[in-house]
Structure 1
């Protein structure tokens, strides 16, 4: 007897068969009804739902097999059926068919003669076995179109039952996997020091970890929905609610600091953060968030801020004391009055720079505006305005972030330039003025000081004074830049070419990353 050849992609076929989880399962009425109906319709003694494994044929349901649950694959008619590549196989007389004439089931009991089977094929095209009928009498005329159609329809019903089983199996496995995943998530969330929470896409809070209930002391479920907002300090509730609504509407990261009521009634500063989870279409399916107790950290920061303000205030007072001491010394030594005045002016310039960039409280904060280069220089040059309060040093160009990293050096540079301009240059003449242009040039920042309308420059100064040396030291020594002077007939032009990172620690940090 020639053995049935293996079906194409046999490994994939067997994998598909086992995925249904139906092999070696008990009897089920749905399949028993199908084979009973098939046997009755064909007036045949044997009907099978026959699944072909790697080395056997196994009957999920059968009529007329005397309790047999299967056979070897070698003798199975259905094995030939799935190997044929066709949906139906009909054998009118097995004794005249070379494939089955020597089959033990034909030559011996039950002496099979007739076979008609329809392949049980998955939606992916894999043949799992066949729904079939056998007779011990030959049927030379084969089967009628109606019988062929019945085989097809009932085979479809068998596959529908298989698909239902697979869907139920996959759903059960999915539910089990989800339960395991949720159990792991809860275990991880409950072990975290932060309070963890989750909401539906519309913002309805439906989960809090154990840490939340431990911290707040509220009964489980009492803060579901919108009840969480009542846990915040009354002064923070409106602000926190508005920020949360904004995140829900825009999908933006939720981040806010607020005071959260602890179980003992004490409000502690907390950092709240939440991130949306999106599906493959970009729609938000859930929000996951945390609350982190930052009260101790915030108190430390406030203490450091108060200490910094106090130190800066004392430095300001030191500037004032030094300036006063210089003034008193000048009275005792009139011959040093000019020198004392110059030194005092430089001290005052440093004091103004320090006042601009030092840490402030809300009360001591200067009113010159944001900490940018232009606002700093505007404050520095205010003393040189004309009688109507109009600035005589005009600032144009690109602004830059500015902090105490460069404040002292920039203050000394432009104090010296403005002082010399007031004594000898453009600011010494009634109609004279200075144009200060600032611009970014790649990774450089260039400041150009141009004096206009002052006394005509007839020659380059032969001597370099202390102020000039101080200005050069400020730019080239402290800021790592270059300083160039041009003594043009119309007035002095000074260009300070600085690294862009010299003006701000923040800019330097961003550059390094």
Structure 2
């Protein structure tokens, strides 16, 4: 293809490098002949008259420039690609109209607009080969803004563009097209082969028709042996169905493809690989190609698994420490009966901390809790499980779920454990008919958590704040940086905790 493959052109249409590279040598002396082609000159002369425009061009867009094979009303024989209007027009399927280039954000700062040429109106019909390769455009240019072309002018420009394509397909002039196609293909292959990743490309239907040298070097397969759907055969048998499912989903929806799988190395071992692909689309959004990469992540994957095992082991030991502390408290209570009430309270608090730690700690797939481990509701469900009954939920959680992390789980566990313990001793949970509602709400950057007791005995504000109340205040204000307000209503205690979202989760 003539356009630069590393930017906005489709890659790997199965073009053969050896067919085009031989033509590059003759392209340099052919281009002067093409520029003076009398038939193309007649086409641009007539296009200018037809559209009542001072300039008409047959433009071929190359990697770094656009070359005018024929021009009427313009002395320049080429311009840089970055200033080319035709580089935009050639990817469409119909005439591209620019009524006033000074008002178009794509071209308002273009030197061809702001400079001496002073382009205002542009109309370009794409020149697309029979193989679907964008070559450039047949365009007309005016220095005065216009609303559009007439229907007759549009039809005429399309007919003239078809004639240009017939001239380009002539054996005498096709060398330049073949050469530029081969040149672009060669540029892409050089770039792809220099990348550390494996690079591949497919047709819109997912048929794999290109792999770079790195793919064959890694897999040890013969060139062409993994075309079509044969790529799946060198995936680990346990990953093949999953990879196919993900790939079919991307083909059906156009969504990016990303998956980790084990790919067979040339030495026969399987290595973890990250596969990614994105679709390349035309102006209408239709997929022209899929471009993908495979990255060897085997060492990173193993290191991550080792870190996860270590984290699980450390977390398991911390959990055991909670159990040891609870055991020591029980042992002390047995030796000192007068200490038992305090010991029971302390042991319950340690148990609550253990539940919070167990909820947010690293888990294996088998031990991981059902609720998301960054879920406030999931943590509260775990904390309140001892207070629930088989028939009904004594503590009911509702409202917006919000994210938490290991930093906020500990103060939240202490705070709500104290509220639940007091409710069992003095509040709604001290009666069989009583219950508690916990409502979470998002108010901008603040999270509002409301504890409300129902159906309990009449309550009143205590004369002095006990240790539990002090612990609640410590958890809310000092550790979470929030505020806590108690409402001592006759029909039940209400506690409102307001805390910043950032204090609950680092994310």
How far 1:369 moved relative to its partner? 6.5
Distance in 2 (CA, whole Å) between partners of 1:227 and 1:318 is 53
Q: Report whether the alignment pairs 1:291 with 2:305.
A: no
| Residues 227-266 of structure 1: pairs in structure 2 closer than 5 A | 227-266=230-269
How far 1:229 moved relative to its partner? 1.1
Distance in 1 (CA, whole Å) between partners of 2:204 and 2:350 is 61
Question: Residue 428 of structure 2 contacts residue 454 of structure 2 at CA under 8 Å; is this kept in 1?
Answer: yes
Match of 2:341 in 1: 338
Structure 2 residue aligned with 1:303, among 298, 303, 306?
Answer: 306
How far 1:480 moved relative to its partner? 1.9
Q: Report whether the alignment pairs 1:179 with 2:182.
A: yes
How far 1:21 moved relative to its partner? 2.2
Match of 1:3 in 2: none
Match of 1:436 in 2: 438
Question: Residue 259 of structure 2 contacts residue 274 of structure 2 at CA under 8 Å; is this kept in 1?
Answer: yes
Question: More relative contact order in 1 or in 2 (CA 8 Å, sep 6+)?
Answer: 2
| Residues 442-453 of structure 1: pairs in structure 2 closer than 5 A | 442-453=444-455
Question: Residue 233 of structure 2 contacts residue 240 of structure 2 at CA under 8 Å; is this kept in 1?
Answer: yes
Question: Residue 34 of structure 2 contacts residue 173 of structure 2 at CA under 8 Å; is this kept in 1?
Answer: no
Q: Report whether the alignment pairs 1:219 with 2:191.
A: no
Q: Report whether the alignment pairs 1:349 with 2:352.
A: yes
Match of 2:502 in 1: 501
The structure-2 alpha-carbon separation of the partners of 1:171 and 1:496, relative to structure 1 and needing over 3 Å to count, comes to farther
Q: Deviations over 1:183-234 (max 9, x none)?
A: 1211111111110011111212111111111101111111111211111111
Match of 1:456 in 2: 458
Question: Residue 360 of structure 2 contacts residue 373 of structure 2 at CA under 8 Å; is this kept in 1?
Answer: no
Match of 1:9 in 2: none
Runs of 4+ in 1 over 4 A off after TM superposition: 17-20, 51-55, 122-126, 160-171, 367-371
Question: Residue 400 of structure 2 contacts residue 441 of structure 2 at CA under 8 Å; is this kept in 1?
Answer: yes
The structure-2 alpha-carbon separation of the partners of 1:369 and 1:191, relative to structure 1 and needing over 3 Å to count, comes to closer
Distance in 2 (CA, whole Å) between partners of 1:452 and 1:174 is 82
Larger Rg: 1
TM-score (norm 2): 0.66
How many residues matched?
Answer: 364
Match of 1:483 in 2: 484
How far 1:501 moved relative to its partner? 2.9
Q: Which moved more, 1:398-407 or 1:330-339?
A: 398-407
| Residues 41-440 of structure 1: pairs in structure 2 closer than 5 A | 171-367=174-370, 371-386=374-389, 388-440=390-442
TM-score (norm 1): 0.66
Instruction: Give unmatched runs, 5+ long, in structure 1.
Output: 1-16, 25-50, 56-121, 127-159, 509-513
